[in-house]
Structure 1
Amino acid sequence: MGLVKRNNIWWMSFTYEGRQVRRSTETSDKKLAEAILSKVKVQIVEGKYFDKPKEEARTFRELMDRYLREHASRRSGYRRYVNMVTNLTAHFGNPKLEHVTPKTIVAYKNKRYADGVTPATINRELALMKKAFNLACREWEWTKDNPVCRVSMERENNTRDRWLTCEEERRLLAASAPWLQEVIVFAIHTGLRCGEILNLTWAGVDLNRRTATVFKSKNGERRTIPLSHTLVQALQNKARGRRMDSELVFTSAAHTPLDAPNLRRSFRLALKHGQVLDFRFHDLRHTSATRMVQAGVDLYKVQRILGHKSPMMTQRYAHHYPESLRDGVAIFDAGRSFSTKLAQAGIRPEQVSLTC
């Protein structure tokens, strides 16, 4: 350990945890600099010294900006990330990273509950924040601590099971503009998420093979799904009138890219005019899954079409088709029939040897 003078300021130079550390004492007084260095030596010996220079120099807004620029921009649904970051920065402001603590994060959760948002929304925002801090810790070396890891996530209620009836669908479509009708029908027939539909390009549509490809799904994976005859006809008609300066399949009436908030706003108005209550755009995805299962489509196919990572996510729809379980109890009828035949033949069950 030693002191080096640079531009009339004394700097400390020492080895900490196997690496060379150089820190300014922020003083030109050598005796004061020596006292500061002695204090650091004692902290190192007692294990109380923690090297956090970059954490003190970086702020929360810098963290969020870099997260959006280098991470979220490569994900689908970028606008959703921007909205969550806006909510976070509106509450936290621009403190140094070391001042973002579990206590301030819990205060944010309480504030969001007061705003009337759901536990699922709070968890998505905390997950974004946790990911940003992980990047700051592991890759950017801005901080050594992730305070979000010490805050519990909220219990979510994922039991919502709302889908459109045929009558509700008729009223909703009648209350929708033509461009919105196209989006709604496409969502019901494919089960695609809102962002996946809005980002669908003509390059991903193969009318010969009757398929649509999502190049970047919510899970970051490419997914190809079959198209119904209804959708193929609709897309053929749409392709004949498309503008060649746009690669997007679904655009506004002015042939501009559709914005998710504006889409949902128009969707809510259509719900109101069509008198469809307690329904969200994402419930069109539930409608697609529910109708497939009710028609007898096995859960594996439903999982593949919806793009669920785990079959457990698809199991929530199993109760819509109890007939698929009937063969499981049919063995009891088969066993009773076998016993009846034995009795009619005068054979006792213990006289029969069953082998695998």
Structure 2
Amino acid sequence: MGLFKRHKVWWMSFSYQGRQIRRTTGTTDRRLAESILAKIKVKLIEGQYFDRLEEQVRTVEEMMDRYHRERVIGRSRHGERRARAMLKHLLPIFGQMTLAQVTPKELAAYKWRRLQEKAAPATIVKELAFLKAAFNMAIREWEWCRDNPVRRVSMGKVNNARVRYCDDQTLAQIYQACPGWLQPIVMVARYTGLRRDNVVSLQWNQVDLARGLIVLDHTKNGDRLGIPLCEPVIKTLEAVKPSRPYADGPVFLQRNGDPVTGDMVTIAFRRACRAVGVADFRFHDLRHTFASALVQRGVDLYRVQRLLGHRDGRMTQRYAHLAPENLREAVQVFKDDYHKISTGSMLDTHPI
């Protein structure tokens, strides 16, 4: 049984019934930490220490560390990078608190502090949602606590319904400004609506050119998704495939044979947009361009939803305003009303 330092705070380490236990003392003062450790020793001897609920001794830092290891690491580079950014703000405030000490009052103060730091409302919501997910795990699977304080805090509404798309002429300009290795990636993204990570990580064993199909085992929603291929995608993949000596492996490679990364795609696409004077257009907006073009050409929202892999139709509704012609037929039921009202003939058929 002893003490060790972590981030200037003293922690206890001891063995109990064959299990190694590590707990924070919550102090940077060694003398106080030694006093706390002495009390714990007495409670261990009396068999009282572990009668306390774990939420009173487990810290937020412990919870977030375990959640990060079990639920974040290995999923995606983007997810890991985003988690590190969120932890950079969460841990200095909540890290040394026990789970029981995190209250709605503390969370509300955190929201206010982040707003004063000019953090975007969407960013604050994501940070709280990250903390909320960790608490849910601690309740359901680890049995570290019984309450999720984040549930009792208003998260606020964030408008994520961004629909930014470009016309074919503008897209052609961006395409021509892209380096050669990026052009087929842009073409596949534009005409499949796939997310960046799905395109970049696409494997040849997921592509069936004979049937004109891409099959993904896992999407962002965790669902299996089959995307039928149109002619621009088929021709693009046929042009790429002869230069690849293997029947499997990544579809898109660098000149040195290494797989293309998502960051490479984002940076190069941004440069191409800047080169042709297109502002505020991201690689993900190719997905919006795909969906918008379908809706504008008369494809119903249900089929667009299926192609995008949306579980909830409300996500697809953001494109509904792009198809006013689809509603024109509905209002034609009133086509004769003007004549009836102006001539008074409606009075004969609809007396008041």
TM-score interval for Structure 1 and Structure 2 normalised by the shorter chain: 0.7 to 0.9
Kindly state the Cα deviation for residue 66 of structure 1 after the two structures are TM-superposed: 2.4
Residue 225 of structure 1: aligned partner: 227
Cα distance between partner residues in 2 of 1:245 and 1:110: 54
Kindly state the Cα deviation for residue 311 of structure 1 after the two structures are TM-superposed: 1.9
* 8 Å contact kept, 1:302–1:314: yes
* 8 Å contact kept, 1:52–1:143: no
Residue 95 in structure 1 maps to residue 109 in structure 2: no
Q: Which residue of 184, 202, 205 corresponds with 1:203?
A: 205
Residue 63 in structure 1 maps to residue 63 in structure 2: yes
* 8 Å contact kept, 2:187–2:232: no
Cα distance between partner residues in 1 of 2:333 and 2:311: 33
Structure 2 counterparts to residues 152-231 of structure 1, below 5 A: 152-231=154-233
* 8 Å contact kept, 2:301–2:320: yes
Kindly state the Cα deviation for residue 205 of structure 1 after the two structures are TM-superposed: 0.8
Q: Paired residues, what number?
A: 304
Cα distance between partner residues in 1 of 2:59 and 2:255: 42
Cα distance between partner residues in 1 of 2:109 and 2:251: 43
The one-letter code matched in structure 1 to 2:140 is: R
Cα distance between partner residues in 2 of 1:51 and 1:102: 26
When residues 110 and 294 of structure 1 are mapped into structure 2, their CA distance, relative to the original with a 3 A threshold, is same
* 8 Å contact kept, 2:64–2:134: yes
Kindly state the Cα deviation for residue 174 of structure 1 after the two structures are TM-superposed: 2.2
Residue 17 of structure 1: aligned partner: none
Cα distance between partner residues in 1 of 2:259 and 2:111: 34
* 8 Å contact kept, 1:84–1:125: no
* 8 Å contact kept, 1:64–1:85: no
Residue 326 of structure 1: aligned partner: 328
The one-letter code matched in structure 2 to 1:66 is: R
When residues 228 and 268 of structure 1 are mapped into structure 2, their CA distance, relative to the original with a 3 A threshold, is same
Q: State the TM-score, normalized to the length of structure 2.
A: 0.74
When residues 324 and 64 of structure 1 are mapped into structure 2, their CA distance, relative to the original with a 3 A threshold, is same
Residue 300 of structure 1: aligned partner: 302
Residue 254 in structure 1 maps to residue 268 in structure 2: no
Residue 40 of structure 2: aligned partner: 26
Kindly state the Cα deviation for residue 73 of structure 1 after the two structures are TM-superposed: 4.8
Cα distance between partner residues in 2 of 1:189 and 1:201: 17
Cα distance between partner residues in 1 of 2:82 and 2:52: 28
When residues 27 and 221 of structure 1 are mapped into structure 2, their CA distance, relative to the original with a 3 A threshold, is closer
Residue 85 of structure 1: aligned partner: 83
The one-letter code matched in structure 1 to 2:122 is: A
SS at match of 2:223: coil
Cα distance between partner residues in 2 of 1:245 and 1:111: 54
Cα distance between partner residues in 1 of 2:119 and 2:166: 24
> CA-to-partner distance for each residue in 1:286-325, whole Å, 9 max, x for gaps?
1111111111111111111011112222122122121111
Kindly state the Cα deviation for residue 211 of structure 1 after the two structures are TM-superposed: 0.9
When residues 334 and 306 of structure 1 are mapped into structure 2, their CA distance, relative to the original with a 3 A threshold, is farther
SS at match of 2:252: coil
* 8 Å contact kept, 2:187–2:236: no
Cα distance between partner residues in 1 of 2:64 and 2:41: 33
Kindly state the Cα deviation for residue 113 of structure 1 after the two structures are TM-superposed: 4.2
Q: Which residue of 260, 270, 273 corresponds with 1:271?
A: 273
| More displaced 10-residue stretch of structure 1: 155-164 or 54-63 | 54-63
The one-letter code matched in structure 2 to 1:275 is: G
SS at match of 1:140: coil
Q: State the TM-score, normalized to the length of structure 1.
A: 0.74
When residues 277 and 103 of structure 1 are mapped into structure 2, their CA distance, relative to the original with a 3 A threshold, is same
Cα distance between partner residues in 2 of 1:103 and 1:254: 54
Q: Which residue of 112, 115, 133 corresponds with 1:131?
A: 133
When residues 300 and 349 of structure 1 are mapped into structure 2, their CA distance, relative to the original with a 3 A threshold, is same
Kindly state the Cα deviation for residue 213 of structure 1 after the two structures are TM-superposed: 1.4
Cα distance between partner residues in 2 of 1:250 and 1:72: 25
The one-letter code matched in structure 1 to 2:202 is: L
Cα distance between partner residues in 1 of 2:97 and 2:338: 74
* 8 Å contact kept, 2:72–2:83: no
Percent identity over paired residues: 40
Look at both structures and tell me which one has the larger radius of gyration over its CA atoms: 1
SS at match of 2:40: coil
Cα distance between partner residues in 1 of 2:106 and 2:185: 41
